[in-house]
A and B are shown apart, each in its own frame.
Chain A
């Protein structure tokens, strides 16, 4: 049995773990686009600041791959696959014959899409090479811009601020993190940014990047010209799926998968930022491109590829970050729609918001105080009816009372905690 994994990200790495859980013999080949072994992509901000070293950012050391019996091809991509013959053609010209394939190529940053966006100094923020490029440029820079209000771009801006640059965030919509949190939460976070010296300007977009070959400034749609040497593009990502054209694999926005993470063609699986999976709240196929989904999907796909039978319950929209000591977490659907119910509480920098539908939690936002957020995630994943307890959502005693209630009514809980001691809610 030969397993081919295209993509050395979170999904690819955990696929190895999943396969090896069942099949200790089969041959595994991992194809990584970058020249590095799988690393913790979310830590590139810390890598930029210099908080962490090279061996911390690597998720596993070289010896792990030898131990697991994995052939790793770095700096290499799959150019084309032929599902009928089960052959993949690599960018180095090699042809690989496989029995099972995992598509985990991930996603790439969207371009800025304005005049002059190819100039030196303009960069996405997705991989180590971006960090090295920005580091190189950093010495000649005084001011950096972040274009877009997404989490990744702003994380990069935060890192540059920590390194001592002047940072300004330019967002087209009314708020930052518009895909992650609601307006009120964004306002609190934005204020916190401003108080810590990062300027945020909304309702603006760049028209042209100024400068000869290198970025020297930016022209905004308001007509303003601003000086700056670095421009981070945070316009989101789009899945790397072009190599699948003509292969017959069902691709919409991403690669469509079922509850075992199979694609429409047998023996072909998909996971991570390239895969469309069932959203646990809405039930719709969607790309929830976050780390935790990618890791879990890779693992589940690996088990199924190796002949196991593991159901993937669904992905969840979830984000967590901390800026200048202010943590925040968001999960599920955070904006109101038609027939949902909103519960909110606010105290200075602390803000909590719960979105309910039919007495079930479908989304939540926590700013400042994130403790016990996982408990709400469990409520969201399982869709437990909250009954009269919903008025206590977010209160410090909520889970104490609620779990007490579950303990009392038993609901299979007594046995499960005392005997197995694991996974009460998500079974």
Chain B
């Protein structure tokens, strides 16, 4: 699976490559994907085969990694509708497939979920979970839990109604769908629902916390990462931002957007929920990854969930009960003043959102969040969480958005900029026990790639100007780097090849929301382009170009 394990650690137990030998690491083989949009995907390896899914047109390619040369075993063309490119908010990305029991599962930009025979690439089933003409797309990496493929939709920026669905892995039939907004029945809130905080308790809050009918186009898509605890039998996922982006058009807390859910995988029934950013004024979203760990806190071992949120706080939560253990800012935060441990409430600094038309300067973090989709990694050896982050603030103005299905439902314009002229990105190591940043590496651009930690006490990440870097997991010292053909926004991973040796693989190919200025050739003269991200990325086209390339490294 994309995140290596159900706990979403992205920790590889392979330890052949270490600080002592990494200086010799070099490419073993490469492959051009023939696609030049943002490659946010991840290679996954099973049965001596490496699988990748490209951005649109979502081509799937399988390589034989049992022998040198990695010949192509098969290629699969799902042929998604090209019109769906028009509803992909943040580049036409795909975040990777999942392998389970001889089958490969992935979703396409036009809302299809497809099962392939991993041995030969033959299609077993496909199911469509909605129409792109409503604004909905799919980009996330599914998870297989107890014979069901769990997937969620994208498109909060288009006013779609978010959901997570389960599909029978054998037959391809949808078994349940839990919506992120609407009546309790739709959200799968029932008898077993017991949220920890009073603000999340009540009847049909997914309706009553919205203006009339607002929940029907309210966003809260499940476009991020899924994790699973087999012992508690709980699936954890966040929900995306509310729609429209303009908070003046949706007074109320807008449940269950920008929220964390714990659900039963068999039925989708919610066990607890915790809304991190009520009425999410800044578009912070709640879809970031949930990393499951067991740590000693105050003298006892606890089953925890770590969630680095877009609003700038890293939430450490008791994952059985939904109780907040701690919430600390991991970047500079100006929009709120902490989280109340007693009520779980985020304390917004301003009492109200600004009136329409007034430009509010310097909201930190900006709407891309302190951290966006890019997943961090956890090393059980160092007990540190490694996070790729951006250090961006934003000037924002709201206006009334029209709701026209299939078009963006925003009502906001923005321009992002670095916080006080500092570096725009960083790669940080966070100690959840001491609740502090242990080290930080400044990067010129937002670090939009995933992270990988290994048993060799190395941490890998990519940069938008094209470097794959390996640093010492304990102190962040740079040990190795390699310049790729294009900026890296993919997820590095490590596997054991057919020769028994450790390999590190990553997709290069700049893009995604942060890299749209290159991947969609945007015009730097308009700072509001790409939701205002262009204002902070005007120099990216000077340092990197388009290109999709798979790199696989080893020590020869």
Query: Are the chains A and B members of one assembly?
Result: no
